[in-house]
Amino acid sequence: MPELPEVETVVRGLRAELPGLRFVEVRLGKTDFIDDPIALSDHLPEARIVGIHRLGKFLDFELLAGTVPLDETKRFHLFVHLGMTGQLTIRQRGDLIAPHTHAFLTLDDGRELRYRDVRRFGRMFLVRDSEMTNFEGGMGREPLEIKFAEFRRLLGGRNARIKALLLDQSVLRGMGNIYADESLFRAGIHPARMASTIPTAKLAALHRAVRQVLNAAIRSRGSSISDYVDSSGKRGKFQVLHRVYRRYGQDCFQCGAGIRRMVVAGRTTHFCPRCQPAPRSSKARGNASRPGK
DNA sequence: AGCTCTTCCTGAAAGC
DNA sequence: TGCTTTCAGGAAGAGC
């Protein structure tokens, strides 16, 4: 599923190809994942792509309006969230159309940007440039940029499970299930642990682990568990480097114990019971299951 | 404040 | 073999 490293990989791929080009035509299939399909059809044609950025798990296409100005500055943004199974790829106009492709944004060089999303958990919407500050203000901090002092301030005192906080996009933007589990393993912290009980040194280890895991995943061009592909349709490679995620029942690479899974924050959570011990005092509720039982 | 449950959606995998 | 059920999960909303 696309999280920060996957979205970053897609953004980098698109950024190498698209800036300077104009959209010329919009064709939409199913539109239930698009906030306002008519707005897309009205405003994207003739819009010029001036930049492509990542905000958390969102792709941000910075655009200059063509014939229909969205506001007086003519600058606006197309936001795309890939949800669970979203794919954004650049194709030639005549290329075979994969099933579940729901948006075709034709470019003035003859190619097209296609959005495919089997489960349609993704999202697409426009944001006025004047509303960007407000929009971004409602989001959490970038995990790769946040300094430890703020990391500790935002997470340290909270009476919530540490994994729930890592997944909360209004705290940190961009972490998902895979990288939350992988970061907690590398920091040696049990996912159900209450954040307020984590010693500063451990919290610092988590802050480091988050950056290390995300950067390593970006270098591997993301994790392809099910549908994820980059902007040219290629799968990522980081899934082979996962140490806990989806390794239920297999041996921990670090200590040999069996990797377990439990539900934390409503998500399937993988962890090593020996490398990430549950704190003795506060019972880490939720029953970790062992393979075979 | 923070938790669980539900909803959205489809295909793969498990169950019978 | 083939049909039915379960599961996966990002995010938002309901209800406790």
CA of A288 to C1' of B16 (A): 27
Q: What is the pLDDT of residues A243-263, one digit of tens each?
A: 999 898 889 999 999 999 999
The rounded distance, in Å, linking the Cα atoms of A114 and A125 is: 15
Q: What is the pLDDT of residues A93-143, one digit of tens each?
A: 999 999 999 999 999 999 999 999 999 999 999 999 999 999 999 899 999
CA of A12 to C1' of C6 (A): 37
Look up the pTM and report it.
0.92
Residues lining strand B at under 7 Å (Cβ) are: A 32, 84, 99-100, 118-121, 158-161, 164, 265-266, 285-286
Q: Is A54 a catalytic residue?
A: no
Q: Is A3 a catalytic residue?
A: yes
A125 beta carbon < 7 A from strand C? no
Residue nearest to nucleotide B6 (CA to C1'): A266
Residue A196: phi and psi, rounded to 5, are: -70, -15
Going by C-beta distance under 8 Å and a sequence separation of 6 or more, which residues neighbour residue A91?
A111, A112, A114
CA of A72 to C1' of C15 (A): 43
- List the one residue out of A95, A108, A88 whose CA is nearest residue A6: A88
